[in-house]
Structure 1
Amino acid sequence: MYDYLIIGGGIVGLSTCYSLIQKYPQAKIAVIEKESTLAFHQTGHNSGVIHSGIYYKPGSLKANLSKEGGELLRAFCDRHHIPYEMCGKVIVATEQEELPLLNRLYTRALENKLDVSMIDSGQLKEIEPHAYGIRAIHVKAAGIVKYKSVAEALAKVIREQGGDIHLSTKVENIVEGPDRIQVECSAQTFHTRYLINCAGLHCDRIAANQGLKPGMKIVPFRGEYYELTPEKHHLVKHLIYPVPNPNFPFLGVHFTRMIDGHVHAGPNAVLSFKREGYRKSDFNFKDFTEVMMYPAFWKIARQNIGEGWKEMARSWSKKVFVRSLQRLIPEIREDDLVKSENGVRAQALTKDGKLVDDFMIVSNPRSIHILNAPSPAATASLAIGRTICERIPEPVH
C-alpha cells in the first residue's frame, strides 16, 4: 500500500515525487511510467529553454510557477552539477505593426517583476549580430538546460531516498474503494491512499478512468524542428524569438541554442493524428477520431483557421518554414537547415472550445490531476511539485 502513487514519469511527475519525499520522508511513494525509460515524451523532446514567465498573465499559475520554478531549477542543477546557462533571450519586432504588441509584452514583464529591458536595433545587434529587428525586449532571466538530465537526477534522488519507480507499467484501470484506490496496470496492481495524475498526453484519460468529468480533452499538437548545420551555429548566440500572436497559443518559430551547442529552429505547431505522433506519418485511429468527434475542436479550428493554414504550410514546405525564420535572421538559407527531432504538446481544450491558457489542476478528496501542463511546465516543474504537495492531505499512519 502506497501513501502516494504518481502516474507519469516525466519531469512533472518526478518533481512531484521529489517534493513529496522532501516533505514526507517516511511516506511510501511510487512513480509508475508506461514507457521503459523515464522522461520519454514531452520532457525528452523539450526545447531545453528555462523560461522567464514573460508571456503569462500576472497572477496566473504559469507566471508565478515559472518564475519560482526557474529559481528552484537552477538551485537543483547547482546541487547536482547539471550544466545550464542563463544566456538570456531577445523577443524581436521586425515590423512597425508589431510594436504595440511588443510594448504590451514589456508592460506584462514589468508587472511580473522580471529583469527586462527594451532595446533598439543597434543594441540588438550587439547581442545578436545576425538578427534583424527594429526593437526588441532583452530578457535576462532566460536560459538553457537539458531537461532529461534534470529528470534523471530527480529519479536518482527519489530512489536514494526510498521512493519506488516502476517502468513499463501502463495503467489499464482505476477502481476506487472505501479506503484505497486500486490501480490495475499491465505489469501489476497497486494500491494507494492517494493518486496523483501527471500523465501528460494521457492525463484526461486517466482522469476519466477514475470517473472524473473535467470538461476538457487533450488535443496533441506536433512541433516540428530543424537545426542549423554546424558551420552556421555562429548565427545564433542566445535565444531569438518573434513577437507572439496574442490570439494564437503558440510562440511562433524561433531560434534556440541548446546546452550541447546545437541550434534548433522552430517549432511550428500542427495537429498530430496520434498523441505520441512525432512523425507526419504517425496515425492512431482512436486518437484521431477522439479529436475529430470533439465539437470543441472544430470551434477552435474555425477561430484559428488563418494561423492554422500558415502552420500547415510551414509543415509541408521547407521553403515556407525558412521564410518565417528569415524574418529574424535574413541570411538563413534552406541549405543551412537539417531536420531535427519533433515534439508533441499536450494541449487541453475545454468543451466550450477554448484552449486552456494556464496550468490546470483539478482535485477531489482522494486524487489530484494535472490536466494542462504544456510549456513552461518543465521550467516550473519543481514549483508545480511544491504546489501539489500543498494541496494534498498528509499521509495517514
Structure 2
Amino acid sequence: MSVGRAAVIGGGIIGLAVARELLERRPNSEVVVFEKEDRVATHQTGRNSGVVHAGLYYTPGGLKARLCRRGVGLLREFAHAHGVAYQECGKVVVAKNEVELARLKNIHERAVANGVPGIRLIGPDELSELEPAAAGVAALHSPTTAIADFAGVAEALAGVISSHGGEVRLSTEVTGIVEGAASSSSTRGAVRVTARQRGAADGPATTEHFDQVITCAGTQSDRLARGSGDDAFPKIVPFYGDYFMLAKQKAAQVNGLIYPVPDPKYPFLGVHITRRYDGEVMLGPNAFLALGRERYGRFGLKTRDVWDVVRSPGFWKFASHNIPAAVRETRTAMSKRVFVEEAKQYMPGITLDEVTRGHRGIRAQAMNADGSLVDDFVITGSARVVHVRNAPSPAATSALAIAEHIVAEALGEERSG
C-alpha cells in the first residue's frame, strides 16, 4: 500500500517504534504521532520494570517468542547506537521446592527451544555464587536477560522520528477515527482523525485526513477501537502494580534479577526482585484491580473506568475463578509487611526498615467476553485502520520487532526476520 500520510496514536514505545518503522519503509511519507500527554512514555513504557526479557516463558514458534527474540537484538542495537542505558545483568528464576523445580525444567525446555543464549539449570551452590542473597533448591540462569531505560529508548525514538521528517504532537488527544471519510483533497477510503489540544484550556477539536492510521493506545486501546467500529472485545481491565525500593546497602547485595517460578494457578507472576539500569533495586510488582486506567495515586477513582469493569460479566467470571489469587494480591496491596514477606521467599535477609514505597504502574490487561485473559498480541482493524488491542509483556522488549510486524501487515509487505 502507498502511504502518503500516516497517523500513529500513542507515544509509548510501541507507537513510536511503529512511526519510526513507517519512516524507514516509506521515507517520503508524512508520519504524525499523536500523544495526549506532554511527553512521551508517560504511562506503561515509563512505569514498567525495565527488564529486557530473553524469551524464557513463551510457546516455542509462537508470535510472542519470535517477536521477543528478534526484539531483544533490535533493542540492544538501538540502545547502544543512541547511548541509552542497556545492561546484561542476568536473571535467575528460583525454585523453592521440588514442585517448582518440575515447572522450572519445563521453562528450561521452552527457553532452549526459543534459542535463549546460555540458558541452563543450576543448583543452590551456583545460585549462591551468582546471587549470594538469594535462596532456593535450584534456579534457571539466563545470563543475557538485560535491563534498559525504556523511557530513554522512547525519547530516542521520538528524536529519530523528528530527524527523519516525522512529527510527534504532544498534548494532543485523538477523540475520533472515522474510516472512509474522504475529503475532496484526499484519496478514496481516507481516514478522518479528530483531535484536540490538552492543557490549562483545552483547545477546540480539529480534523485531518490520513491514508493510514495505527493505534497503539495502551489502556485506552479498546475505546479507540470501538469508537472506530471495531469489536467491543477484548476489553481493557486495568491492574496496578506497586513497587518498593530496597535501601542502597541492601540493594548492593543484588547482582541482577531474582524471579519466582510462575504458578499456573495464578494469572500474574508475583513479587520479584529487579535491579534497574540506574542501580536501584525494586521489589514487585503485585497485581490488583486499578480504580482508573491512568490513576497512579493511592486514593481516588475514575468513575467511567470503574463502571467499564463492573458492568462486564466477563470480569465477574474472571474474579470468581481467581479467588485465591485475589486474596493473595489483596494482602500485598493492603500490607507492606506481607509484600516484603513475598520477596523474602527469594531473598530472606530483607527487613521492613530496608524497604520504602516506590512508584506504581498500570497494566493494560485485555480480557475476553468470557473472562479469560488475553495472553498474546491482538492486532485488528482494516487495511487503513490498524488497532493494537493487546500488547502484553514482553511488549517493551519486543517493541521494534512488533513495529516491523505491524507495519509490514499494514503495508502488505513481507515481514523482516
- TM superposition score normalised by structure 1: 0.97
Aligned partner of 2:85: which letter?
Answer: P
Return the offset for 1:389.
Answer: 1.4
- What SS class does the counterpart of residue 332 from structure 1 fall into? coil
Match of 2:185? none
Aligned length in residues: 395
* 1:377 is aligned to 2:395: yes
Match of 2:245? 227
Aligned partner of 2:321: which letter?
Answer: Q
CA contact (8 A) 1:10 1:151 kept: yes
Say which of 256, 269, 293 aligns to 1:238. Answer: 256
- State the identity %: 43
For residues 378 and 222 of structure 1, the distance between their equivalents in structure 2, rounded to whole angstroms, comes to 17
Say which of 188, 192, 210 aligns to 1:182. Answer: 192
Return the offset for 1:142.
Answer: 0.6
CA contact (8 A) 1:93 1:102 kept: yes
Match of 2:306? 288
For residues 86-165 of structure 1, what are the structure 2 equivalents within 5 Å? 86-115=88-117, 116-165=119-168
CA contact (8 A) 2:378 2:388 kept: yes
Match of 1:320? 338
For residues 404 and 258 of structure 2, the distance between their equivalents in structure 1, rounded to whole angstroms, comes to 31
For residues 207 and 266 of structure 2, the distance between their equivalents in structure 1, rounded to whole angstroms, comes to 42
For residues 201 and 2 of structure 1, the distance between their equivalents in structure 2, rounded to whole angstroms, comes to 28
Return the offset for 1:214.
Answer: 5.1
Unmatched tracts of structure 1, length 5 or more: none
Match of 1:80? 82
Match of 1:300? 318
CA contact (8 A) 2:230 2:381 kept: no
Between 93-102 and 290-299, the greater mean CA deviation after superposition: 93-102
For residues 300-379 of structure 1, what are the structure 2 equivalents within 5 Å? 300-379=318-397
Alignment deviations for residues 255-310 of structure 1 (CA, whole Å, 9 cap, x no partner): 11111110011000000010012123131000001100001111111111101110
For residues 247-266 of structure 1, what are the structure 2 equivalents within 5 Å? 247-266=265-284
Alignment deviations for residues 158-203 of structure 1 (CA, whole Å, 9 cap, x no partner): 0000001111111112222143111111133221111101001100
- TM superposition score normalised by structure 2: 0.92
Aligned partner of 1:301: which letter?
Answer: A
Match of 2:30? 28
CA contact (8 A) 1:133 1:328 kept: yes
- What SS class does the counterpart of residue 225 from structure 2 fall into? helix
CA contact (8 A) 2:375 2:392 kept: no
Unmatched tracts of structure 2, length 5 or more: 183-187, 198-205
For residues 65 and 131 of structure 2, the distance between their equivalents in structure 1, rounded to whole angstroms, comes to 26
For residues 313 and 33 of structure 2, the distance between their equivalents in structure 1, rounded to whole angstroms, comes to 34
Between 109-118 and 171-180, the greater mean CA deviation after superposition: 171-180
For residues 214 and 2 of structure 1, the distance between their equivalents in structure 2, rounded to whole angstroms, comes to 30
Aligned partner of 1:87: which letter?
Answer: C
CA contact (8 A) 2:222 2:233 kept: no
Aligned partner of 1:8: which letter?
Answer: G
For residues 257 and 44 of structure 2, the distance between their equivalents in structure 1, rounded to whole angstroms, comes to 20
Aligned partner of 1:163: which letter?
Answer: G
Match of 1:218? 236
Alignment deviations for residues 226-250 of structure 1 (CA, whole Å, 9 cap, x no partner): 0101121122111000001124332
Say which of 50, 55, 79 aligns to 1:48. Answer: 50
For residues 248 and 387 of structure 1, the distance between their equivalents in structure 2, rounded to whole angstroms, comes to 30
What value does the CA root-mean-square deviation take over the aligned residues?
1.4
